[in-house]
Amino acid sequence: MSGTSRDALMAVAASREICDGETAFIGTGLPMVAAYLAKATHAPGVNLVFESGIIDPAPLELASGVGDYRLAYGSTKIAGTFYALSLLQQGKIDIGFLGTAEIDAFGNLNSTVIGDYRRPKVRLPGSGGANDIASMAKRFVIIARADPKRFVEKLNYLTTPGFLTGPGAREAAGLPGNGPVKVITDLGILGFDPTSKRMRLEETFPGISATEVQSAIGFELVPYADTRPAVAPTEEQLDLLRTKIDPNGMYVKNLQASR
């Protein structure tokens, strides 16, 4: 696994969060790669939903966005954004995937603004369907590269709820979803302490120490005695990424050929 790219490690880790027979709300980038890897291996019965309302497509190549017409190929239904989001509101989405510009210790996300809201340093794309996914999917996974500027003690703006202020806060806010379960970074995999709802380090990628992960996080991770090395990708998974799912390296970069 030492020669495997970080992109591939992240995609494989994300794919493992998808269970067979589930309905998954998918975006572009590594979540799309992870979804098709899961579908090609351990979860052939997963039903994929895209925010554009394209349902369970089988594209000949990866799309560049959720509205890319390449996703229409092989789809079981094309129904529009309202329909896709209504599946969340009906409680039919088992898992969703999100990216973010900022994330705090409770898994809350900011994709709106850096700096003052009315006079920002950086104006970001905003929520899109992220708030809907985080609020109403049964669980969600965050994919974000580790960086102290991204993993922050205090968000510039709360776009999307994780565990809000801690235990019981989601329930008090009336949010039906169970919140974030994993944060997949390029250094390892973070989870959440069941008591405090704060982030902890659960798995490290090859050559990465717990100290290195902590140094890339802008807040103190909850100590966790069972931190372990991440499960290595199989040759089948790497070969699928390399030859079938992302052969052009659109999202998974520097994937070495089998030896």
Residue 14: predicted pLDDT: 98
Residues 8/259, Cβ–Cβ less than 8 Å: no
CATH number for the domain that contains residue 227: 3.40.1080.10
Residue 134, CA distances (Å) to 59, 75, 106, 162, 254 in order: 26, 25, 13, 7, 31
Residue 1: what pLDDT? Answer: 52
**Is residue 52 assigned to a domain?**
yes
Residue 234 has pLDDT above 60, yes or no: yes
Q: Which pLDDT belongs to residue 4?
A: 87
Give the per-residue pLDDT at 62.
93
Evaluate whether residue 212 is within a structural domain: yes
pLDDT at 259: 31
Longest dimension (CA), the chain: 54
Q: What is the pLDDT of residue 258?
A: 39
Q: Is residue 62 part of a domain?
A: yes
> What is the per-residue pLDDT across 131-150, written as a single tens digit (0 to 9) for each?
999 999 999 999 999 999 99
Question: With pLDDT > 90 as the criterion, what percentage of the chain qualifies?
Answer: 93
**Is residue 1 one of the residues assigned to a domain?**
no
pLDDT of amino acid 253: 82
Gap between the Cα atoms of 234 and 16, Å rounded: 12
Q: Is residue 248 situated within a structural domain?
A: no
Identify the pLDDT of residue 255.
61
From 17, 51, 102, 203, the catalytic residue? 51
Domain of 199 in residue numbering reads as: 6-242
**Chain-wide mean pLDDT for the chain?**
95
pLDDT greater than 70 at residue 2:
no
In a domain? residue 175: yes
pLDDT for res 257: 45
**Type of residue numbered 61:** E
Distance CA 217, CA 212 (A): 9
Range in 48-52, 152-156, 249-253 the model is least confident about: 249-253
Q: What is the pLDDT of residue 139?
A: 98
The pLDDT tens digits for 53-99 are 999 999 999 999 888 989 999 999 999 999 999 999 999 999 999 99
In a domain, 249, yes or no: no
Which tens digits make up the pLDDT trace of 26-56? 988 999 999 999 999 999 999 999 999 999 9
Amino acid 188: pLDDT: 98
| Residue 257 within a domain | no
The answer to whether residue 51 is catalytic is yes
**For the purposes of burial, counting CB atoms within 10 Å of the CB of 253, is it exposed (0-12), middle (13-18) or buried (19 or more)?**
exposed
If one counts the domains in the chain, the total is 1
Which residues make Cβ contacts (< 8 Å) with residue 6, sequence separation at least 6?
186, 205
pLDDT over 80 at 3, yes or no: no
pTM of the model: 0.94
